Chains A and B, each alone.
Chain A
Amino acid sequence: MKPPPLDILTPTTIAEALALLSAHGEAARPLAGGQSLVPLLNFRLSRPEVLIDLNRIAKLSFIEERPDHIAIGVMTRERAIEESELIASQAPLLQEATTQIAHLPIRSRGTIGGSLSNADPAAEYPAVALALEFELIAQSERGERRIKAADFFEDVLTTALKPDELLTKIIVPKSPGQSSSAFVEIARRHGDFALAGVAAQITFSAGKPTDVRLAVCGAGSTASRLSAAEEIVLRDGAGVEAIKGASAAAAAAVDPMADLHASADYRRRLVGVMTKRALQKVVQRAGVSA
């Protein structure tokens, strides 16, 4: 359980990191919090020749308020996001989802950029990114690119990032004042990757949903939006029957994979249950009558 031989490079500026990434290309892997990559190295399932350690680049770690969004540096620890009052008030879905990531020691090392770049389909952040419509800033020596969350997650552990690109900043739109959100998930044990999780972000006007975003994790090759379910809630509101319909639509829409912990069918059923619970929580939090 030791990694194969590799070099660890420790840039202290973004420019330096980009130069290294450009020079080493696919032979390099950026190292963020290491909570997924290090075990993969130890199992020799990931075999980069070079690790570009981002932990000494101070400018990659920040949470900053802008007029209509929050900007988060990719090396911001999950624990810092969990404890940020700014995020709790302006993007509560992100905050709630963060509390459900693994366990405290993992959140203390793990970073938002590492999790998004890793694109584990069962992880919380990709679903939140889709529901809150993050924009992801990727930089390379060739320049800067702004990628919509919807275009970012391509397949299991695969993103739109090119080998010479580094995710550097996350743009989190502020949630509207008339909105409410919830993140619910289920795992066999507390802290495990979700068997199914649902992020819900709904804007209400006079008690009626006007903007509905539902995203699921753990139920396919990537996190995804549950558009059929969204449409039902947008059309029929968030009453008991509509929630039931939306849950059924969510379960029908996903194509989960079976593994040791759950069959595809069980996961599909759980997606329905998590959709229902997320919607119920949103309704309750918004204080709208069903």
Chain B
Amino acid sequence: MADTMPSYIGRSVVRREDNRLVRGAGTFVGDMKLDGMVHVAIVRSQLPHAIINGVNLNAARAVDGVELALNGDDLKDVLPPISGMQVTAPKTWRDGMDPRIEIPDQTLVPYDKVRYVGEPYALVVARDRYIAEDAAELIDGDFETLPPIANAEAALDAESLVHDHLPGNIAATLHARKGDGEAALEAAPRRLKRRYFHHRYAAMPMECRGVVAEYDSRTDSITVWSSTQVVHWVRREVANALDMAEERVRVVAPDVGGGFGGKGHVYPEDILVAYLAKRLDRPVKWLEDRHEHLLNAAHSRDNLFDIEVGFDDDGKISVVKNYFLVDSGAYSPVGAAIAGNSIAHFMGPYDIPHYEADCKVMMTNRTPNAPYRGAGRPEVALAMERSIDLIANELGLDPAEVRFRNMIQPEQMPYAVGLPYRDGVMIEYDSGDYPEALRKALDGIGGLEAFRERQKAALAEGRYLGLGLGCYVEGTGIGPFEGATVKIDSSGKVMVATGACPQGQGHETAFAQVAADIWGVDIDDVVVTVADTSHVTMGYGTIASRSAVTGSGAIQESSDKVKEKVFAIAANVLETSEADLELRDGSVGVKGVPDMSMTLKEVARAALPGWIHQRPEGIEAGLEGTAYYEPPTVTWAYAATAAIVEIDAETGAVQIENYVEVHDAGTLINPAIADGQVKGGLVQGIGGGLFEEPSYDEHGQLMTGSFMDYLLPTASDVPPINVIHSETPSPRNAFGFKGLGEGGAIAPPVVIANAVCDALKPFGAELNNTPVRAEDILNILESGAVAAE
């Protein structure tokens, strides 16, 4: 930090991005028009599982305006598959998880068989997208259908295999243990065993995916504009596939309309479009339409849990056994990372001495499964938080009380969980007061006792009100690293570039706030560049609630390098010692001597190479530094949430009266942005809890091919939301930051399920699967009515 404090961190600075976005002046991939640009239509499998006997392109090639039509055979010896291991894990994690991981590579355009509805098997490049689609219709695929594998459980016993080299359709197994689960279960006075299912749903950003690529034959270089969260990953894979130096591949994510994890890995189209641009030596554009997005962009969640919990008569939990299957679809672009999250986050904010987890990541004939906001955490929150409510029911205790009795107390911080995190470091919750968050959440809904009285009075009138609670913790700011380059040139402006790759998070503003505070300059003197590989040599990207922590860390470390030179040069010019200098108002000055200072602009000029420089001996020219911040391990955000619902007794419809989330992400950079992040996540969680679900019929056909059928929550479906931020700084970085991008989406499905079950308590009903459906609720109400008669 600078010594003077016009502190920007903690202020709701108006987002720089909004000026262009609100005026419609943003540039998304879809807005791009390049001279001579041609357009791609991709032909996608309508079968979930089939052998490809042949794909006839003749009719498509004959269409006027078609430049090129290709099938899998044309490409199989030209382009390598995308590695199944886009994400790697450190050895220390592997030691703790005992994994067997054989994630299959993904052929860009399959030539042997198709494995999910939506998988590409041919493509057409044409003068415009209309012609490309006309020609795509004429492509004649000859397929021999294979029995589709519909879900993870069926995959275990299926005779047919999604990938021939994966017996039992198992792509990965993970195990983890803490204490002695078996013995603890034997010793437990009470046991609860349940099956929970968290359904599949998807990120569904407002902007679908899209890629434009332009090849420059003069320099043998290529520029790829992709609506992605990970420009550096795309650069790596494109360079690998096209056998080019990474230096000759520039990947840019222009304005991106949401990602939420769904754009957090490399897809075949990122590479295909780059390949086509080079092959044709013309700019090539592919825009994913919503129908394609629903079929082909990664889905997520889809976990089946068999859980056993041991507890005593006071509701204190001694042990959890967690056996679960992940339906990963036909591929698993980020390997076993989501399952690893699920294992690590299961116990949440609770102090549970014994734990055993056993997981299988299954291959099925479904769209590939990749992280989506929450990434393995909403799934386990469902299993854990439902279990707590069921324990409360069994003991006649309030679910809030059982949570309080099991929560880690603030004096136990830092708290060692006894499991390795995905970064290979043993998990230690760093800071926070979990019971206080729950107390605040209960206050936020008007107090527990007041609600229980209201609920009783309503029930007497035949109205069903319910309270749902959900608490979680979230490891955020994961490594392995993030890169940043900081420069000060002769303009005196501070230029910051990071490998962070925003999709609407307001990084240009938030990182400007961070850099302005680091340098003690006016925020308008900070220039931020994001999502462009040409500005940072190595970067990681914006996934996993990580950029605030890792991007800021990288900006700080690169700034430190530059500051050393700034102080050395200023000391030389001002003829003083570095120790007497401070940064203040865009200048370097002598402490206690207001008149003795030089501006950063003057320092930058003094730092120039050449005859007139004023650098001391041994100081290299230029004010520029690059650093790769490798966080020691993750920071632990947490939240307690509460919602009140009312059930329409005649239709089963669920009305959420209000929703409160007490969220702690450490020190906030920009509270308005943080608020928007948590609320946005909550809305997506509510969507998953009530509406969103890709549906497949008995033949494996995806029935949700448009927004008529895949229902997103709209403004009218969103209840009043109250987000209460508490700020317990993380001790793991200089700023006290924790990540917050995903949190909001974690709890709503289970909070809604818990609230509905609380409302239907007179019927003794359990809803242990998501989404919560009005029809199921009405069945419960009517069966209860029949029983009462």
Contacts and interface: CB of A to CB of B under 8 A. Distances in A.
Contacts of B137: 4, 44
A3 B137 CA distance: 12
A275 to B, nearest CB: 11
Given A43-B706, A260-B703, A262-B775, A190 B653 contact: no
B605 to A, nearest CB: 55
Nearest to A277: B650
Interface stretch (B19-27, B259-267, B482-490, B713-721): B713-721
B704 interface: yes
A270 B711 contact: no
Contact of A263 (B133, B291, B717, B775): B775
Nearest to B775: A266
Interface in A252-271: 260-263, 266, 269-270
A188 B691 contact: yes
Contacts of B695: 260
Contacts of B129: 2
Contact of B651 (A2, A3, A44, A273): A273
Contacts of A186: 651, 653
B717 A190 contact: yes
A39 interface: yes
B134 A190 contact: no
A1 B711 contact: no
Contacts of B292: 1
Given A1-B290, A186-B651, A266 B709 contact: no
Interface in B666-717: 691, 695, 703-706, 708-709, 711, 713-714, 716-717
Contacts of A2: 129-130, 133
Contacts of B291: 1, 43
B778 interface: yes
Interface string A99-136: 00001000000000000000000000000000000000
B18 interface: no
B3 interface: no
B690 to A, nearest CB: 8
B548 to A, nearest CB: 33
A191 interface: yes
Interface of A is mostly: loop
A5 interface: yes
B713 A189 contact: yes
B714 A190 contact: yes
B289 interface: yes
Nearest to B715: A190
A270 B652 CA distance: 10
B290 A189 contact: no
A260 B130 CA distance: 31
A192 interface: yes
A4 B134 contact: yes
Contact of A189 (B703, B706, B716): B716
Contacts of A193: 708
Given A2-B133, A44-B137, A260-B709, A189 B714 contact: yes
Interface in B741-789: 774-775, 778
A4 B130 CA distance: 7
A262 B134 CA distance: 35
B311 to A, nearest CB: 37
A190 B718 CA distance: 11
A263 B291 CA distance: 24
A262 B652 CA distance: 12
Nearest to A4: B134
Nearest to A193: B708
Interface string B653-670: 100000000000000000
A4 to B, nearest CB: 6
Interface in A186-228: 186, 188-193
- Among B130, B292, B704, which residue has the most Cβ atoms of chain A within 10 A? B130
A157 B691 CA distance: 26
A263 B779 CA distance: 12
Contacts of A39: 706, 708
Contacts of A43: 291, 705-706
A121 to B, nearest CB: 14
Given A188-B691, A189-B714, A191-B716, A273 B650 contact: yes
A49 to B, nearest CB: 14
A4 B653 CA distance: 41
A32 B709 CA distance: 24
Contacts of A5: 130, 134
A82 B705 CA distance: 31
Nearest to B693: A260
Nearest to B695: A260
Interface string B264-297: 0000000000000000000000000111100000
Contacts of B708: 39, 193
Contacts of B711: 188-189, 192, 261
A2 B133 CA distance: 7
B34 to A, nearest CB: 20
Nearest to B133: A2
Nearest to B687: A189
Interface in B442-484: none
- Among B289, B695, B711, B775, which residue has the most Cβ atoms of chain A within 10 A? B775
A8 to B, nearest CB: 14
B46 to A, nearest CB: 13
Given A4-B134, A189-B711, A266 B778 contact: yes
- Among A1, A262, A269, A270, which residue has the most Cβ atoms of chain B within 10 A? A1
Contacts of B703: 260
A189 B291 CA distance: 20
Contacts of A192: 711
A218 to B, nearest CB: 13
Interface in A1-33: 1-5
- Among A4, A39, A188, A193, which residue has the most Cβ atoms of chain B within 10 A? A188
Contacts of B714: 103, 189-191
A260 to B, nearest CB: 5
Contacts of A191: 714, 716
Contacts of A260: 695, 703-704, 709
B778 A269 contact: yes
A1 B650 contact: no
Contacts of B717: 189-190
A270 B704 contact: no
A111 B119 CA distance: 38
A5 B65 CA distance: 13
B709 A270 contact: no
Contacts of A263: 775
A262 B775 CA distance: 7
A132 to B, nearest CB: 26
Nearest to B292: A1
Contacts of A3: 130
Interface in B206-246: none
Nearest to A186: B651
A190 B289 CA distance: 25
A215 to B, nearest CB: 20
A45 B130 CA distance: 15
A144 B268 CA distance: 57
Nearest to A44: B137
B707 to A, nearest CB: 10
Contacts of A273: 650-651
Nearest to A196: B651
Nearest to B132: A2
A276 B648 CA distance: 14
24 contacts: A1-B292, A2-B133, A3-B130, A4-B133, A5-B134, A43-B291, A43-B705, A103-B714, A186-B651, A188-B774, A189-B713, A190-B714, A190-B716, A191-B714, A191-B716, A192-B711, A193-B708, A260-B704, A261-B709, A261-B711, A262-B775, A266-B775, A273-B650, A273-B651
8 tightest A-B contacts by CB? A1-B289, A190-B716, A266-B775, A2-B130, A273-B650, A2-B133, A260-B695, A189-B717
Given A1-B291, A1-B292, A263-B775, 7 more contacts: A43-B706, A186-B651, A189-B691, A191-B716, A262-B775, A266-B778, A273-B650
